[in-house]
Structure 1
């Protein structure tokens, strides 16, 4: 992570925590009246300015080195939870500073009240510290959840073993909501980006003598008159990631020309919806890294490199889960919001209702990101889509799979392109809903219009079966008896002859046997390698009128890319994942073909889950620097 280099300095006087004047000591030892005076420590929070500019990308133009300052509401701190621990992270004391409102200020400094006896218990009976015990860790949680704050209310130095650092935040979004306030404007949850080791006085008496005035608190982020130098702000980072999106189509209308050779541009794909899937429902309050992404030997608040992994709360589960079994698939509901698959490992219309889906035209109306300073201008025009939780995958790389990785699913619609009516009249009529039903062909009716099944085989799209596929297969066979199309369309296979089954389907049209005949034909066709596209109404089940009508729809699957190793087909360390305090800028820049069919049974290669992707009276001052978002720009091609 890079520190923002354009910090401004300043001070903001803050109200003392309500109740901090309670001078009655708590603990087994009596205190004298002099000892009842409050002890103070100073804490500061340094925030990046939302009015600044992005830093440049690295020397090679890679956006992983770029930063995004963020919006004011992404930087604001209203409440600050400070935790002091021994250098082995066993609890010492904590306090909650409320009433903050940093707004667009770049630096805040506040005085925090700690419970005096908690700090005193850190010292031996003689009021002194053993050698090397004067080094403590300071943790800062900005805008903490109530659950996290309550955790510390039950802790004391005698009952804590340091395991509090492994506390996780559970986030549920959908029919049940929990902790979604962590990304509400002005209340973004933040926590340490690195361990903050600070030095405190060697004797408790020094606190009493030197730091009894709010005007002269002990500095945890600066120089003290007594010689202790704690210079350096506590760096914090946001606990969530952000997804930005822009229209990357050639004509800025979400539409992409497709077609091969002479047919290039005769068809178009319009992206109409985008959906978030597999958003993790839990993450550690404090980030940690390890060599393999597993918890053993993880380094708390360690820095991510190009050779290590950010550790997730369910790393062991992800390593061991058997996604090829129904039992394994069923466990995913305990780990993810917006699961890609249902409990049977399938994707259908009901499954898609559990995704987080929006129309792209609505996404493009969202607030612009902070794109000042980006060059060239092509890097601008991103819109803030939404925030997501951290989701990382442990080694080996094969665990980066569709059942576990956070993804974005794009819904496309087939449209007529240039000269399609002239070159391929039947396809034009199919797309426009003016196709005429024939006696030897199979069509189905939607809103009074007839639509044939479209068949794709090795890059060629056929309208109907008898009219196109069989004719083409027979033509190829006349000149090449090894024609793969002929074998696929005409020869028997383990599920029967597709051509014969198609004729049975035509005969069963408008009878009680139609669905059974259609199922048999589709199975045979997909087994032979054909992809089938059937038209549908995008408005089915939608009551607000916001839909894209009837047409041929399909889906493109994109797994969020964190570190691009620039090696297509070879996954690298942390290549696919979602990591806190990163902005993922997404733009679909190219589409070459139709996507996965809406109906999974029409897909010869359907997506599979294993497819690889307190009140108190001690006061401390701490500076907390919120690091800017790390930008990762992902141009997507299908």
Structure 2
């Protein structure tokens, strides 16, 4: 993945309302209690081109996002004093009307610049954090840098609010930590940083010495803190490979959504830094107990509204493109296992060739039958059905080695890939992962056979690299388009 210039989500011109009154100094929290001896202002550059990311798709295709994914309702600017223990020196919440559009720059990208009225601040070395559409109750104009760089656990309702229409939360797009603007790593995180370089904690360095007429400038990029997954299958009735059987996909749900995150993306400090190894708070800590750090991970009655264990399901008969948003979920290669990996969970009905949809299906060995076919085959196979009938329970059939699919209903799981190492015998770093500000487009490519006969909770001992049941999904990973923010101090 290349995360050197990540996005500042789009700013629709319709929401940028210019004010006619005279500009006044922005009111904010100045920790010194004085107006300060230097000036800074915030300007935002919205380029119309994006970057590529090293993931499954290498085509360079990008997606700017929907209007609801792009809109800025409010923006929290936090400035910390790097020379005084990272104490909060200035903060201010800007609304959409505070962002003033200017004419596009000349050139092919036709970038638009948005500015904010200059304000005074104490001079010196600062750390800058920008939070777009901050989550209520979690981020305020008193938020410390420790809050921004340490792990945070959220409820499922709070996670949902991070990706609410017109209110997608975004924070600093930390690239390789301690790098300068040329991408060169800087050994000492406190010294040698130029304006726009990243500190280890993901904040952006700036030395504020500007005057009212010549403010210091620095560029800050921000990105959405959630990943997007979308099923784009065109036809949900798919023939089984090599057969005339048909699988009718009916519902899909997000499974194993992470509940913890770092407000600013954290990059692993050790190892091969060229991999941009993204860290989440469960990093290198996966155990059976940490299954509780994920929501939607209990599949019994998964698609029952009353007993769904927090699983949000989408109806494929009514959803044109079933979309989900969730926190990023990454881990070291050895811990990429079914109980921890984010995926899509499908409910379907399997229809045998020549039989009505909704007919009970029975599997014995590798062969599928309706009940009449099972009775006939049992005579040849020496299978004793005793007094079992087509109305007998799944448990009764299972006891004699037969799997019953009630009305043909079955379940499929797909574990989302971020990077494919093209080696099914070796687990690659971040191969099975979802990363913030990435857009995962899934399409059911083929079906090799019938799925599970009932919802089965994922096994924390099963590696993701094992062959995915009987479902082949084509996945494409795109970056949401880059939005670069220029902050002038």
When normalised by structure 1's length, the TM-score is 0.57
Alignment match of 1:219 (pick from 213, 216, 221): 216
Deviations 1:252-310 (A, max 9, x none): 431111254xxx22x1111111111111122111011116xxxxx69xxxx9743x521
Q: In 1, Cα distance between the equivalents of 2:30 and 2:132? A: 28
Alignment match of 2:158 (pick from 178, 188, 207): 178
Q: In 1, Cα distance between the equivalents of 2:459 and 2:56? A: 35
Secondary structure of the structure 1 residue equivalent to 2:344? strand
Q: Are residues 1:99 and 2:95 paired?
A: yes
What residue number does 2:192 align with? Answer: none
What residue number does 2:328 align with? Answer: 390
Deviations 1:175-234 (A, max 9, x none): xx2253322222221111132222223xxxxx7xx43xxxx362333xxxxxxxxxxx21
Q: Are residues 1:237 and 2:244 paired?
A: no
Let me know the Cα RMSD of the aligned residues: 4.2
What residue number does 1:412 align with? Answer: 348
Q: Are residues 1:258 and 2:240 paired?
A: yes
Number of aligned residues: 421
Alignment match of 2:453 (pick from 567, 573, 597): 597
Gaps of 5+ in 2: 102-110, 175-197, 199-203, 465-477, 483-489
Alignment match of 1:611 (pick from 418, 441, 462): 462
Q: In 2, Cα distance between the equivalents of 1:25 and 1:471? A: 85
Q: Are residues 1:200 and 2:186 paired?
A: no
Q: In 2, Cα distance between the equivalents of 1:574 and 1:16? A: 51
* 8 Å CA contact 1:16, 1:97 repeated in 2: no
Secondary structure of the structure 2 residue equivalent to 1:285? coil
What residue number does 2:386 align with? Answer: 503
Q: Are residues 1:403 and 2:386 paired?
A: no
Q: In 1, Cα distance between the equivalents of 2:479 and 2:115? A: 19
* 8 Å CA contact 1:17, 1:98 repeated in 2: no
When normalised by structure 2's length, the TM-score is 0.72
* 8 Å CA contact 1:454, 1:462 repeated in 2: yes
Deviation of the 1:2 alpha carbon: 6.2
Q: In 2, Cα distance between the equivalents of 1:145 and 1:243? A: 21
Deviation of the 1:336 alpha carbon: 1.9
Deviation of the 1:312 alpha carbon: 0.7
Secondary structure of the structure 1 residue equivalent to 2:137? helix
Correspondence 1:318-467 to 2 at 5 A:
318=286, 321=287, 323=288, 328=289, 332-333=291-292, 335-341=293-299, 352=308, 354-364=310-320, 383=321, 385-393=323-331, 395=332, 397-416=333-352, 420-421=353-354, 428=355, 431-432=356-357, 452-458=360-366, 460-464=367-371, 467=375
Q: In 1, Cα distance between the equivalents of 2:132 and 2:278? A: 21
* 8 Å CA contact 1:20, 1:113 repeated in 2: yes
What residue number does 1:587 align with? Answer: 443
Secondary structure of the structure 2 residue equivalent to 1:401? coil
Gaps of 5+ in 1: 28-34, 121-133, 156-161, 202-206, 222-232, 292-296, 365-382, 422-427, 434-450, 474-489, 491-498, 536-550, 601-605, 614-626, 632-638
Alignment match of 1:309 (pick from 277, 282, 307): 277
Alignment match of 2:74 (pick from 79, 92, 96): 79
What residue number does 2:189 align with? Answer: none
Secondary structure of the structure 2 residue equivalent to 1:108? strand
Q: In 2, Cα distance between the equivalents of 1:78 and 1:352? A: 33
Deviations 1:399-421 (A, max 9, x none): 111111111011121125xxx33
Deviation of the 1:596 alpha carbon: 1.0
What residue number does 2:468 align with? Answer: none
Alignment match of 1:522 (pick from 398, 419, 436): 398
Secondary structure of the structure 1 residue equivalent to 2:117? strand
Name the stretch that deviates more: 383-392 or 399-408.
Answer: 383-392
* 8 Å CA contact 1:166, 1:286 repeated in 2: yes
* 8 Å CA contact 1:245, 1:385 repeated in 2: yes
Deviations 1:88-137 (A, max 9, x none): 872342312322256999431113546x5xx37xxxxxxxxxxxxx5433
* 8 Å CA contact 1:462, 1:468 repeated in 2: no
Structure 1 408/607 Cα, relative in aligned 2: closer, same or farther at 3 Å? same
Deviation of the 1:463 alpha carbon: 2.9
Deviation of the 1:56 alpha carbon: 8.1
Alignment match of 1:564 (pick from 392, 415, 420): 420
* 8 Å CA contact 2:29, 2:89 repeated in 1: no
Deviations 1:605-627 (A, max 9, x none): x85232224xxxxxxxxxxxxx9
What residue number does 2:486 align with? Answer: none
Secondary structure of the structure 2 residue equivalent to 1:574? coil
Structure 1 271/521 Cα, relative in aligned 2: closer, same or farther at 3 Å? closer
Deviation of the 1:593 alpha carbon: 0.6
Q: In 2, Cα distance between the equivalents of 1:503 and 1:236? A: 66
Correspondence 1:275-314 to 2 at 5 A:
275-290=253-268, 305-306=274-275, 308-314=276-282
Q: In 2, Cα distance between the equivalents of 1:61 and 1:557? A: 19
Structure 1 352/402 Cα, relative in aligned 2: closer, same or farther at 3 Å? farther
* 8 Å CA contact 1:47, 1:75 repeated in 2: no
Correspondence 1:164-175 to 2 at 5 A:
164-173=147-156
Larger Rg computed on CA atoms: 1
Q: In 1, Cα distance between the equivalents of 2:100 and 2:451? A: 45
What residue number does 2:114 align with? Answer: 108
Secondary structure of the structure 2 residue equivalent to 1:149? coil
Q: In 1, Cα distance between the equivalents of 2:22 and 2:4? A: 32
Structure 1 471/179 Cα, relative in aligned 2: closer, same or farther at 3 Å? closer
Q: In 1, Cα distance between the equivalents of 2:263 and 2:455? A: 40
* 8 Å CA contact 1:12, 1:108 repeated in 2: no
What residue number does 1:294 align with? Answer: none
